[in-house]
């Protein structure tokens, strides 16, 4: 069997699966409408007509319009033979099914045909002088069947819409989670690798003249690597607590995500690489939610990483002001040509130029850093401004609206 034919076969089987339940309904209606003195006892053709009126209901959901036509044909034969049978109720069931499962145009055709049959039946079998009442009563029953089917179709469409909406939200949630993990991985890997490379260059440069400083740099590299692994485990720890593997790893996952309080240790790590970094924090930091604090930490981390990579010898100024409603983050690197030439190890790899125009192209060339920062800020309905400052250097200013819905 061709694998491409499987969905079609499954759909066909699911459609035929309704036949047994509908056959039970048809059998129940057949037995109910037999009635004493109605069909039994009677000629065989009367039983055959009873069967013709009810039996097609077994396929009512498989082919609603065909079933409606067959029952209508049987009813026309009944009208021609001038025989009244309670099994005419099958027409109401068929009308309900067409309205519930077929488009409105076909439903309209079926409803008009049924109303024509109602008027013909009322004209032939209504008691003398009772035609209007009989026609109205039969029309009301037909209308109830029609409206019930339409209501069921609307309800089914509504439920389908809810399921589609739920699936769409689930897909969006997965996409957002992937985007979050991508941003976190970019920030964590880029920052820590940049720090480790800078420390390794420094250790290689001073390994002969100052072995103790080289050893300290190597220890800092190891500590930075462990911190990177811990941050990655925390970022990837969703739904993994059941397979953490050890109590120590589980404890790592339970540690709080980095926030504003960790900006101090972050600055120390940056200073260890030779990037002079100063952090100033003001405002009601305790009022800032943990998620917003993590966003602030990642913004500062990414900005300092760019400074380390693209502005050797610069010094970085970090300012964070926050309240329960608003947070402002500013990272400025000030370029000092003299300090830059003195602080970069000679054995280090050449760094990109930091002229304003060059810095803009490099900063935007990677794309991921600035895009990730914008996504983080946008999730709080805030704004991000990144660009060169007069006299050389780079400034990142982010404003977060902590009242924005998440």
The pairing of strands 383-388 and 315-322 is unpaired
Q: What percent of the chain has pLDDT over 90?
A: 36
* Rounded-to-integer distance, Cα 317 and Cα 384, Å: 17
Task: Please name the residue that has the structure tokens 């209901």.
Answer: 57
pLDDT tens per residue, range 256-312: 678 899 999 899 888 888 889 999 999 988 889 888 998 899 899 888 988 888 877
pLDDT of 192 strictly over 80: no
**What would the DSSP string read from start to end of 286-312?**
GGS-HHHHHHHHHHHHHHHHHHHHH-T
Between 361 and 113, name the one with better pLDDT.
Answer: 113
The pairing of strands 393-401 and 383-388 is antiparallel
**What would the DSSP string read from start to end of 307-367?**
HHHH-TT-EEEEEEEE-SSEEEEEEEEE--HHHHHHHS-TTSPP-----HHHHHHHHHHH-
Q: What percent of the chain has pLDDT over 70?
A: 80
* Rounded-to-integer distance, Cα 350 and Cα 112, Å: 85
What strand order describes the sheet that includes 383-388? Answer: 276-283, 315-322, 326-334, 393-401, 383-388
Tokens standing for residue 162: 């809810």
pTM of the model: 0.51
What mean pLDDT comes out for the span 43-62? 91
* Rounded-to-integer distance, Cα 281 and Cα 229, Å: 27
- In the DSSP assignment, the letter for residue 95 is H
The predicted pLDDT at position 362 comes to: 36
**Residue 35: partners with Cβ closer than 8 Å, 6 or more residues away:** 86
What mean pLDDT comes out for the span 45-70? 93
pLDDT tens per residue, range 347-404: 333 333 333 333 333 333 445 678 888 888 888 889 999 888 887 788 999 999 988 7
The pairing of strands 276-283 and 326-334 is unpaired
The predicted pLDDT at position 257 comes to: 75
- In the DSSP assignment, the letter for residue 394 is E
* Rounded-to-integer distance, Cα 369 and Cα 188, Å: 11
What mean pLDDT comes out for the span 201-220? 82
Backbone angles phi, psi at 329, to 5 degrees: -125, 130
The predicted pLDDT at position 36 comes to: 57
The pairing of strands 276-283 and 315-322 is parallel
What mean pLDDT comes out for the span 66-81? 94
* Rounded-to-integer distance, Cα 41 and Cα 292, Å: 83
User: 155-159, 229-233, 306-310: which has the minimum mean pLDDT?
Assistant: 229-233
Backbone angles phi, psi at 61, to 5 degrees: -85, -15
Tell me the longest C-alpha to C-alpha distance in the chain: 123
What mean pLDDT comes out for the span 106-125? 94
The predicted pLDDT at position 171 comes to: 85
Hey, what domains does the chain have and what are their CATH numbers? 13-167 (no CATH), 168-401 (3.30.565.10)
* Rounded-to-integer distance, Cα 366 and Cα 373, Å: 13
The predicted pLDDT at position 6 comes to: 53
Task: Please name the residue that has the structure tokens 């769409």.
Answer: 168
The predicted pLDDT at position 343 comes to: 38
What mean pLDDT comes out for the span 310-337? 86
- CA 21 from chain centre, in angstroms, equals 36
Q: Work out the pLDDT band at 46, boundaries 50, 70, 90.
A: confident
Q: Work out the pLDDT band at 70, boundaries 50, 70, 90.
A: very high
Average pLDDT, the chain: 80
Is residue 85 within 8 Å of residue 49, measured between CB atoms?
yes
Q: Is residue 218 packed enough to be buried (19+ CB in 10 Å), middle (13-18) or exposed (0-12)?
A: middle
Pick from 66, 33, 32, 72: nearest CA to 52: 72
* Rounded-to-integer distance, Cα 216 and Cα 197, Å: 14
Q: Is residue 253 packed enough to be buried (19+ CB in 10 Å), middle (13-18) or exposed (0-12)?
A: middle
**Residue 362: partners with Cβ closer than 8 Å, 6 or more residues away:** 310, 352
* Rounded-to-integer distance, Cα 83 and Cα 112, Å: 23
Where is mean pLDDT largest: 42-56, 133-147, 377-391? 133-147
Tokens standing for residue 179: 């985007």
Q: Is 213 helix (H, G, I), strand (E, B) or coil?
A: helix
For residue 331, say if its preceding peptide bond is cis, omega within 30 degrees of 0.
no
**What would the DSSP string read from start to end of 357-376?**
HHHHHHHHHH-HHHHHHHHH
Is residue 285 within 8 Å of residue 260, measured between CB atoms?
yes
């Amino acid at each position: 069997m061709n694998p491409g034919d499987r969905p079609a076969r499954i759909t066909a089987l699911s459609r035929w699966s309704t036949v047994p339940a509908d056959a039970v309904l048809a059998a129940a209606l057949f037995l109910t409408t037999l009635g004493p003195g109605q069909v039994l006892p009677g000629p065989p053709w009367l039983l055959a007509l009873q069967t013709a009126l009810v039996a097609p209901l077994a396929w009512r959901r498989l082919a609603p319009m065909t079933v409606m036509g067959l029952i209508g044909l049987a009813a026309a034969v009944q009208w021609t033979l001038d025989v009244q049978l309670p099994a005419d109720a099958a027409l109401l069931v068929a009308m309900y099914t067409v309205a519930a499962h077929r488009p409105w145009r076909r439903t309209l055709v079926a409803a008009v045909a049924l109303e024509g049959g109602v008027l013909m039946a009322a004209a032939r079998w209504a008691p003398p002088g009772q035609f209007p009442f009989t026609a109205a009563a039969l029309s009301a029953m037909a209308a109830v069947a029609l409206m019930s089917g339409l209501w069921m179709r609307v309800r089914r469409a509504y439920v389908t819409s809810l399921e589609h909406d739920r699936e769409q939200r689930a897909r969006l949630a997965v996409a957002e989670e992937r985007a979050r993990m991508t941003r976190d991985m970019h920030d964590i890997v880029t920052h820590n690798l940049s720090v480790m490379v800078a420390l390794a260059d420094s250790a290689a440069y001073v390994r002969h003249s100052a072995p103790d400083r080289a050893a300290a740099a190597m220890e800092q590299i190891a500590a930075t690597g462990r911190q990177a692994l811990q941050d990655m485990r925390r970022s990837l720890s969703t739904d993994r607590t059941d397979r953490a593997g050890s109590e120590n790893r589980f404890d790592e996952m339970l540690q709080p995500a980095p926030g504003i309080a960790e900006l101090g240790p972050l600055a120390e790590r940056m200073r260890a690489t030779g990037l002079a970094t100063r952090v100033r924090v003001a405002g009601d930091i305790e009022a800032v939610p943990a998620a917003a604090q993590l966003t602030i930490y990642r913004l500062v981390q990414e900005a300092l990483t760019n400074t380390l990579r693209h502005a050797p010898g610069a010094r970085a100024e970090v300012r964070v002001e926050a309240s329960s409603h608003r947070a402002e983050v500013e990272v400025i690197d000030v370029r000092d040509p003299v300090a830059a030439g003195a602080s970069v190890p000679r054995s280090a790899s050449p760094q990109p130029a930091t002229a304003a125009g060059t810095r803009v192209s490099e900063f935007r060339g990677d794309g991921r850093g600035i895009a990730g920062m914008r996504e983080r800020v946008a999730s709080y309905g805030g704004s991000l401004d990144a660009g060169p400052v007069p006299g050389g250097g780079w400034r990142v200013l982010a404003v977060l609206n902590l009242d924005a819905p998440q």
